[in-house]
Structure 1
Amino acid sequence: MRLCFLVEEHYRHDGMPVEVIRQLESWGHQVDVVRPGGSLLRMSEAVRAGSHDAWVLKTVSGGPGLPLLEAAAAVGLTTVNDVRSIRGVRDKALASAIGRSRGLPVPMTYAAARPELLIEIPESEFPLVVKPADGSSGRAVHLVRSPERLAAMLPVLAGEGMLIAQPYVPNSGIDLKVYCVGGELYATERRSPLHPDQGAHERHVPLPAEVAAIVDQVGAVYGLDLYGVDVLLGPDGPVVVDVNDFPSFRQVPDAAAKVARAVLELARTGSAVAAAAFVSGVTGVSGGGRIPERSFGGGVPAAGAQPVPSSAAVEGR
């Protein structure tokens, strides 16, 4: 297969996707790497129909890669993930609206084009978590404990563009990060960016069944195949606080090979998850197809899940 990876400068030396690209090339596939933030692009030439079997995006939210991926999709090229699904989670205000409307446990979310508008949020909602609507990798995430503190922070927030604010969910200071790759779910825990003094180290942990069901639903709602979900275990149960397309997959065993196999499978077949999601609700159309079930818990199949293709079945394509 011939694949195109759009890799932002921020990730050009990162293990994900560099190790995935190396794995694909070791299997004999051709991988072209385009750096949308560091190259002058001839757009019509870059997205020639039929020139690649699939395009894969690994860029920061708000970076220049997504429009190029959308251009590729517009001429009929396969993208990993589906480009509509990526847009649906990269805008965190949009992601919140979609998630809450589809029954996901997502906090109430306020959006403001200017930080001073956040002052209108009732005092009863504090403390707040305030972050950019196009943020990623924990950038510019603030725990704001009072309206007075918010007023003092307005100059800091002024350069962040569209902002979102959510009521803080009391928690232990440990985030649960769940990754979906190749139809399997893997859970890790890590220190929360809101609690930098917490002494936790990132490590693989068992995946509670309740969280697995929610993360599986996240994929179905947004139409994602490769994704990560940040979950807080709050006093009222698990809460989804962030969704990322093509995350780091840290602590996932044999992550590069697993992601590479998933990319090849999606390049070959397209995304049944995305197709079902955009029929059954993300587009606002009622009805819809069946969402494929996944496996979870470090490779233990969920009831009724389809088997993940073996490396021998996928690598040679």
Structure 2
Amino acid sequence: MRIGLIAADPGHPVLAATAALLADRHEVTIVDPDGPAGPALADVYLLKAHTRRSLALAGELERRGAPVINSAAATELCQDRVRMAELARAADLPFAATRDAGRLAELADPAYPFVVKSRHSRRHDLVARVDGPARLRELVARWPDEPVVTQPFVPGTGWDQKLWVVDRQVFAARRRSELADGQGEPGQGQDWEPPAERAALALRVGEVFGLDVYGVDLLDGPAEPVIVDVNAFPGIRGRSGAPEALAALALRVATERGRVAQARGR
């Protein structure tokens, strides 16, 4: 089979490990996310890049009949934090209250403390805790025209709960929040086995968003866990078994496509 990786960084650990698992028996092709689709279709594509051009490329491949993991539409939805929150709350998921605040420079009369994020999720986007006017002025000076959303600050335990799902297999870790008070190095990680209800919540997110490979960021709210972000095809670094699950997913989807094509040809 031929597996295409739409990725700006094919050397990313989870992609490199997945490609190594597949390469012995299958052809793994790196697809430039800023380049043309090419005349020959792969049996399945893994969409790791999230730029506008890569989403357009994935959409073109889908229109030509190729399966893409995750779909272009599902990936694009997760780039817009307003649409993400609207879909989640409409499905009764415990998503943080998310308000479209327009341009950061136009943000008026906020209730401190709060969290401000770029509306459009991307690498090196804005995610910051704002405790008062001085901090807000500092951010406005750097990001005046940035379209943003605001969310209430959830103190939680100071640890972000990271759940990653690959084809309904749940992987998890906890990381010290960069937005929390207290001791601990921001980004510091530790292994974590999520309770069954949180794993089930992560699986429900995939059903609602139409995702096969994704991440869910949780915090401990006053009464229930709070979802603060959903990421299509995250890094899933250092999780044993994740590359194997991703390789198995790619082969399963490619095989299913082949069976459908064969049936149509009869």
TM range (shorter): 0.7 to 0.9
What secondary structure, in the 3-state scheme, does the structure 2 residue paired with 1:84 have?
helix
Asked whether 1:262 is paired with 2:260, we answer: no
The residue aligned with 1:165 is 150
What secondary structure, in the 3-state scheme, does the structure 1 residue paired with 2:108 have?
helix
The residue aligned with 2:121 is 135
Gaps of 5+ in 2: 258-266
TM-score, normalisation: structure 2: 0.86
Counterpart selection for 1:180 from 153, 158, 165: 165
Which residue identity is paired with 1:116? A
8 Å contact from structure 1 (residues 204, 251) kept in 2: no
What secondary structure, in the 3-state scheme, does the structure 1 residue paired with 2:171 have?
strand
The residue aligned with 2:262 is none
TM-score, normalisation: structure 1: 0.73
What secondary structure, in the 3-state scheme, does the structure 2 residue paired with 1:4 have?
strand
Asked whether 1:243 is paired with 2:241, we answer: no
Q: Report 1:1-150 matches (<5 A).
A: 1-8=1-8, 11-26=9-24, 28-37=25-34, 41=35, 43=36, 46-48=37-39, 51-59=41-49, 61-62=50-51, 64-121=53-110, 123=111, 126-136=112-122, 139-150=125-136
How far apart, in 2, do the equivalents of 1:74 and 1:155 lie?
43
How far apart, in 2, do the equivalents of 1:2 and 1:72 lie?
14
> Once the 2 structures are TM-superposed, how far is the Cα of residue 47 of structure 1 from its aligned partner?
5.0
How far apart, in 2, do the equivalents of 1:269 and 1:244 lie?
25
How far apart, in 2, do the equivalents of 1:261 and 1:138 lie?
31
How far apart, in 1, do the equivalents of 2:143 and 2:51 lie?
17
The residue aligned with 1:296 is none
* Percent identity between the two aligned chains: 30
How far apart, in 2, do the equivalents of 1:35 and 1:90 lie?
20
What secondary structure, in the 3-state scheme, does the structure 2 residue paired with 1:119 have?
coil
Higher strand content, 1 or 2: 2
The residue aligned with 1:232 is 219
Asked whether 1:206 is paired with 2:193, we answer: yes
Superposed CA offset, 1:206-230 (max 9, x none)? 1112212211110111011111111
What secondary structure, in the 3-state scheme, does the structure 1 residue paired with 2:29 have?
strand
> Once the 2 structures are TM-superposed, how far is the Cα of residue 133 of structure 1 from its aligned partner?
2.1
What secondary structure, in the 3-state scheme, does the structure 2 residue paired with 1:94 have?
helix
Greater shift in the superposed pair: 136-145 or 213-222: 136-145
How far apart, in 2, do the equivalents of 1:66 and 1:198 lie?
37
> Once the 2 structures are TM-superposed, how far is the Cα of residue 56 of structure 1 from its aligned partner?
1.2
What is the aligned residue count?
255
> Once the 2 structures are TM-superposed, how far is the Cα of residue 151 of structure 1 from its aligned partner?
3.5
How far apart, in 2, do the equivalents of 1:117 and 1:214 lie?
35
> Once the 2 structures are TM-superposed, how far is the Cα of residue 255 of structure 1 from its aligned partner?
2.1
Greater shift in the superposed pair: 167-176 or 12-21: 12-21
Which residue identity is paired with 2:2? R
Superposed CA offset, 1:200-257 (max 9, x none)? 7423211112212211110111011111111111222201111111112234223222
What secondary structure, in the 3-state scheme, does the structure 1 residue paired with 2:234 have?
coil
Which residue identity is paired with 1:175? D
How far apart, in 2, do the equivalents of 1:201 and 1:112 lie?
31
The residue aligned with 2:210 is 223
The verdict on how the C-alpha distance between 1:56 and 1:193 changes in structure 2, with shifts beyond 3 A counting, is same
How far apart, in 1, do the equivalents of 2:119 and 2:125 lie?
11
The verdict on how the C-alpha distance between 1:119 and 1:268 changes in structure 2, with shifts beyond 3 A counting, is farther
Gaps of 5+ in 1: 271-317
The verdict on how the C-alpha distance between 1:198 and 1:101 changes in structure 2, with shifts beyond 3 A counting, is same
How far apart, in 2, do the equivalents of 1:64 and 1:195 lie?
35
> Once the 2 structures are TM-superposed, how far is the Cα of residue 81 of structure 1 from its aligned partner?
1.3
Greater shift in the superposed pair: 210-219 or 248-257: 248-257
Which residue identity is paired with 2:147? M
The residue aligned with 2:261 is none
Greater shift in the superposed pair: 198-207 or 127-136: 198-207
How far apart, in 2, do the equivalents of 1:246 and 1:189 lie?
18
Cα root mean square deviation, aligned: 2.2
How far apart, in 2, do the equivalents of 1:103 and 1:167 lie?
18
8 Å contact from structure 1 (residues 203, 251) kept in 2: no
Which residue identity is paired with 2:150? A
8 Å contact from structure 1 (residues 47, 72) kept in 2: no
